[in-house]
Amino acid sequence: MDKAIIMKEWLKTRLVFFACLAVTLAVGGYAVIMMNRLIQLKGVEHLWLIMLLKDNSFVDVLKYLPLAVGIAVGVAQMAPEMAQKRLKLTLHLPCGHGRLVGLMLATGLVELGAVFAAQTAVIAVWDFTILPPELVGRVVLTMLPWYFAGFAGYLFVSAICLEGTRSRRVMLGLLGVAVAMACFLQPAMEAYNGMIPFMLILTVGLLSLSYGSIARFREGRQD
């Protein structure tokens, strides 16, 4: 049954997954090309100087992309459950509701993780050819809050799509906007290093939102 549920979720999201993967890899490749272009024009020493003195990570072009990817996967996966009245049928599957929601969310989170890991690999592998490990680490740590925004965006969109009441959807939407905005307030490299453990804990906590939406749906709380 677990495999059948995962396959059902994959069939809903596979096109969006591959589209997002292609876009994120293309944008990651573009960031690499821009860095390489600067090296060709002014040398690698100039690149290092800008990174060290001006806190420029050269990956700002992908700043909001993880959030867009998270929202896209969430809509593709969860919107049909409500728009096409599938959720009631899904909840009648011979699987515990908690496990069912967990498998649905796990499928989406794994897809996001694969997309974000692929983009990070493209940038990090190339950076290692021209930068010391310390600077590569700074670039990756700078991107982590953006990826957190992607996971958070997915979890909020999932909860909103599964929520049956308008007032609750509005509340979740406003909270989601606030959390996403908090990930982009500090433009400096590694500005969120001290917040990374909190972000990990918050991401786990956001999983409960969809469970709450499902619980209210089962109780018949719908507009």
- Split at pLDDT 50, 70, 90, the class of 91 is low
Q: Taking CA 115 as the corner, what is the angle to CA 144 and CA 106, rounded to the nearest 5 degrees?
A: 90
pLDDT at residue 92 is higher than 60: no
Strongest mean pLDDT among 105-114, 124-133, 187-196:
105-114
The overall pTM is greater than 0.75? yes
Place of tokens 């897809």: 111
Question: Among residues 159, 169, 150, 68, which one has the least CA distance to residue 109?
Answer: 150
Burial of residue 23, with CB atoms counted within 10 A of its CB: 0-12 exposed, 13-18 middle, 19 or more buried: middle
The one-letter code for the residue type at 40 is Q
Determine the Cα–Cα distance for residues 87 and 218; give it in Å rounded to an integer: 10
Q: What are 42's two structure tokens?
A: 């002014």
Output the pLDDT for position 186.
78
CB 214 within 8 A of CB 91: yes
> Based on C-alpha coordinates, what's the Rg of the chain?
20
pLDDT at residue 88 is higher than 60: no
pLDDT at residue 48 is higher than 80: no
Residue with the bigger pLDDT between 146 and 91: it is: 146
Mean pLDDT of 46-61: 79
Q: Taking CA 134 as the corner, what is the angle to CA 128 and CA 140, rounded to the nearest 5 degrees?
A: 70
pLDDT at residue 149 is higher than 80: yes
- Split at pLDDT 50, 70, 90, the class of 166 is confident
- What is the pLDDT of the chain when averaged over all its residues? 85
Strongest mean pLDDT among 121-125, 152-156, 202-206:
152-156
